[in-house]
Amino acid sequence: MAIDDIEAAAAGDGEREPDPSDSLRTFGAVVQALREHAGLSRAEFALLVRFSKHTVESVELGRRMPDEEFVERAEAALGNTGALRNAARHLTRGEPGLAAWFRRWARLERVAVSLSTYECRLVPGLLQSEGYARAAFASRLPPLSDGQMEAQVAARMQRQTLIRKRPNTMFSFIIDEHVVRRRLGGAEVTRDQLDHMLTFALLRNVEIQIMPTNSEAHAGLDGPLALLERPDGRRLAYSEGQESGRLIADPKLAAVLHRRYATLRSQALNPLNSVGLLERIRGAL
């Protein structure tokens, strides 16, 4: 048989991506648009590229990562415009447990030389204990299923390994005092969360600062903020809200937000005094 992926066709849904990414869906839509523009049915196109109709459908619907042979054969069959080769360079697999709008930032975190986070809502994900993360996800509305909950917690814990895996990357956190005083999940979860943060604060590449509630100046009133610097020196920012997130790549705007964070650092308690406050809050529980 001339079809290269007969085994994959027989595998059925087992070949699907567990969590299709936006880039896979976009690539599939481009393939479908070019195929239809050429006047080809899926069956006709499948014969031209020597893949099964099932595979063509899975790629077009963003359910399967196309291999290099598929891209090259599809490119040749659809006019050699270069569109598919260019689109294929940006393909990424979905990441279970990470919101679609956060995935690009999560990938940038893995290569950053410095990461800075200001939070006024909850403990930053990179510092959350498993119990705290579960309590946070349990508060989500609409409620998550058990499977969704496990995927979210697993993704958060996996992302957190960045701190220990990248000892040459600086991690800076500024957190409003009321966040660490809130007993999300109960006193036991809160004690464990504070212990978790204090353990991270011992690392040489981590600085944790608390913005005290009695501060008379606050440069972070516009909300949470995440910043990073890439190896090439470019500085980016990320802002997240209700069911949305925005990557800020404009150099001028990113520079403004980096300056704002620098001001926040000067207004917050220094790392030593912040650790002292966390220890006192922990002792009072």
Which of 64-68, 163-167, 206-210, 252-256 shows the lowest per-residue confidence on average (mean pLDDT)? 64-68
Residue 245 pLDDT level (bands cut at 50, 70, 90): confident
Residue 108 pLDDT level (bands cut at 50, 70, 90): confident
Query: Using one digit for the tens of pLDDT, what is the confidence trace for 64-103?
Result: 878 888 999 999 999 998 889 888 877 765 555 555 556 7
Q: What pLDDT was estimated at residue 1?
A: 34
Query: Using one digit for the tens of pLDDT, what is the confidence trace for 9-42?
Result: 333 333 454 455 667 788 889 999 999 999 999 9
Query: Using one digit for the tens of pLDDT, what is the confidence trace for 115-156?
Result: 999 999 999 999 999 999 999 999 999 998 888 889 889 888
Which of 71-75, 104-108, 277-281 shows the lowest per-residue confidence on average (mean pLDDT)? 104-108
Q: What pLDDT was estimated at residue 99?
A: 57
Mean local confidence (pLDDT), 44-73: 89
Q: Residues 150, 152, 158, CA angle at the centre, nearest 5°?
A: 100
Q: Residues 226, 237: contact at Cβ < 8 Å?
A: yes
Q: What pLDDT was estimated at residue 256?
A: 96
CB atoms within 10 A of CB 183: 13
Q: What pLDDT was estimated at residue 2?
A: 38
Mean pLDDT taken over the chain? 87
CA distance 163 to 155: 14
Q: Which residue has the higher pLDDT, 205 or 10?
A: 205
CA distance 35 to 6: 22
Q: Residues 37, 91: contact at Cβ < 8 Å?
A: no
Question: Which is nearest to 77 in space by CA: 106, 108, 109, 39?
Answer: 39
CB atoms within 10 A of CB 184: 17
Mean local confidence (pLDDT), 256-277: 97
DSSP state string for 158-197: HHHTHHHH-TTSEEEEEEEHHHHHS-TT-HHHHHHHHHHH
Mean local confidence (pLDDT), 247-257: 92
